Structure formats: C-alpha cells, structure tokens
C-alpha cells in the first residue's frame, strides 16, 4: 500500500466535508420527507444519484492524488465527463420543473447559475488537467458553486429562511483563498479569478434575478 506522499491534505479533507454536507442535506430531507419537487421523478432520481456520485468521486480523486495514484486519477477524471454532463442537464431540468410548479424566478436563476458555474469551472479544470495547481482549485470551486441547494435543504429542516444560506455558502467559498494565503502567502490566480467570477455572477446577477424583466423572460421560456 502506497503511503500518502503527494497532494495537499486540505483538498482531501475539504472534499470530505463537501460530501458529508450533501449526504446530510439530501439524506435528512428524504428521511423526514421534508421536500417538495415538481420535476419528474426519473429526473429527480437521476440528478440525486449524479450529485452523490460527483461528490463521492471528487473525494476519491483527492484521495488518489494523496496516495500517488496519479494514473488512476487521470483515467477516472476523463470518465467523469459523462457524469458532469448528466449532472448539469438533470439539474437544469429540475430547475425548470420546479419553476413551472412554484413560479419562483429567483430560485430558477440561482439554480441555473449554479449549474452554469459548475459546468464552466469543470470544463476549465479538464482543459488544465496537466497543471495540478490550477486543476484542483478549479475542481474545488466547481463543486462549491453548486452546493447552495444542499445548504438550503439543511436550513429548511429547521424552517430557517433560505437567504440564511448565504453566509454558510460564503464560508465554503472563502475557505480556498484563506488556505492559499495562509500556506503560500498569496492567493493563486486560478483561485481568485474563479471565485471573483462566481461572486460577480451570483451577486451581480441577483439584481437582474429580482427584476420584472427576468420574471417575464422566465415565464415566457419555461412557464406552464
């Protein structure tokens, strides 16, 4: 058995935290039947399984790097492309289905943004797969970008307003730049650029998401 000689522990332990968060969020909601989704059941099941597989795979991939199994890590990485495609498509279909049932345009914008950001950062991570420092940071940010629905579901168990998700989500987002600065005395370019783009889209776009024009556009494109 190979000893952990490569990789940074932060990415491995952070990936475990992400996995546990997702399992806790969706697991408790299923057990307590504290959910309401308007999308079709096959789409919901597909998305749920793909989400669980993604965070499980992300955790396993960081473990493979720590143990020096780089070749296996690279092969699994390329195989994950299909999983990422299924994840994004099913996520978009669920967002549309829920909007058609509830009519919440703001939620639709947030879910669309999460899927877009995940797809973007995942694609950039694959393109930069031969540059480990960039690759692993983009994969981590991609995983955090679509974490918001899981955090929302944890809060809903306790009947807490969805907007309280924001500070918890920011903790996950800011963990990487804080780690970079504390360990290296700087924030990697791939870290601050990806997070800056994420925050600009989520916060800058929120103004449009609240607007009447987005409500009208969403209704015309995805309404019943």
Q: What is the pLDDT of residue 10?
A: 95
Q: What is the pLDDT of residue 163?
A: 73
pLDDT at 44 > cutoff 90: no
Which pLDDT band holds residue 101 (cuts at 50, 70, 90)?
Answer: confident
The Cα–Cα gap between 46 and 195 comes to: 28
Q: What is the pLDDT of residue 86?
A: 96
pLDDT at 224 > cutoff 80: no
Torsional class of 117: left (φ above 0), alpha (ψ -120 to 50), beta (otherwise):
alpha
pLDDT at 32 > cutoff 90: no
Q: What radius of gyration, in Å, describes the C-alpha atoms of the chain?
A: 18
Q: What is the pLDDT of residue 157?
A: 73
pLDDT tens-digit readout, 208-222 = 888 899 999 999 998
Q: What is the pLDDT of residue 1?
A: 34
Q: How confident is the prediction for the chain on average, in pLDDT?
A: 87
Which pLDDT band holds residue 30 (cuts at 50, 70, 90)?
Answer: low
Q: Report domain extents, the chain.
A: 9-222
Q: What is the pLDDT of residue 151?
A: 84
Other CB atoms within 10 Å distance of the CB of residue 115: 20
Q: What is the pTM of this model?
A: 0.89
**What contacts 24+ positions apart, CB below 8 Å, involve 62-66?**
62/7, 62/11, 62/12, 62/15, 62/136, 63/12, 65/6, 65/7, 65/11, 65/12, 65/132, 65/136, 66/4, 66/6, 66/7, 66/9, 66/12
Q: What percent of the chain has a predicted confidence (pLDDT) above 90?
A: 57
pLDDT tens-digit readout, 169-179 = 899 999 999 99
Lowest mean pLDDT among 25-34, 54-63, 192-201, 203-212: 25-34
201, 214, 20: which is closest to 114 by C-alpha?
201
Q: Which residue has the tokens 């989704």?
A: 37
Q: What is the pLDDT of residue 5?
A: 44
pLDDT tens-digit readout, 108-150 = 998 899 999 999 999 999 999 999 999 999 999 999 999 988 8
Other CB atoms within 10 Å distance of the CB of residue 120: 18
């Amino acid at each position: 058995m190979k000893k952990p000689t490569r990789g940074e522990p932060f990415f491995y332990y952070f990936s475990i935290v992400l996995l546990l968060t997702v399992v806790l969020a969706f697991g408790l909601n299923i057990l307590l039947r504290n959910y309401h989704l308007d999308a079709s059941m096959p789409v919901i099941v597909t998305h749920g399984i793909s989400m669980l597989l993604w965070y499980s795979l992300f955790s396993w991939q960081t473990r493979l790097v720590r143990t020096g199994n780089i070749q296996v890590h690279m092969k699994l990485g390329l195989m994950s492309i299909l999983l990422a495609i299924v994840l994004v498509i099913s996520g978009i279909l669920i967002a549309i289905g829920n909007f058609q049932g509830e009519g919440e345009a703001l939620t639709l914008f947030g879910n669309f943004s999460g899927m877009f950001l995940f797809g973007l950062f995942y694609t950039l991570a694959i393109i930069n797969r031969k540059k480990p420092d960039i690759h692993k940071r983009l994969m981590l940010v991609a995983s955090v970008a679509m974490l918001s629905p899981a955090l929302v579901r944890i809060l809903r168990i306790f009947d807490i307003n969805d907007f309280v998700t924001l500070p918890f989500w920011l903790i996950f987002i800011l963990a990487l730049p804080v780690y970079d600065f504390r360990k290296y005395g700087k924030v990697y370019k791939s870290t601050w650029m990806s997070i800056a783009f994420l925050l600009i889209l989520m916060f800058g776009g929120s103004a449009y998401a609240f607007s009447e024009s987005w409500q009208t556009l969403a209704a015309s494109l995805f309404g019943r």
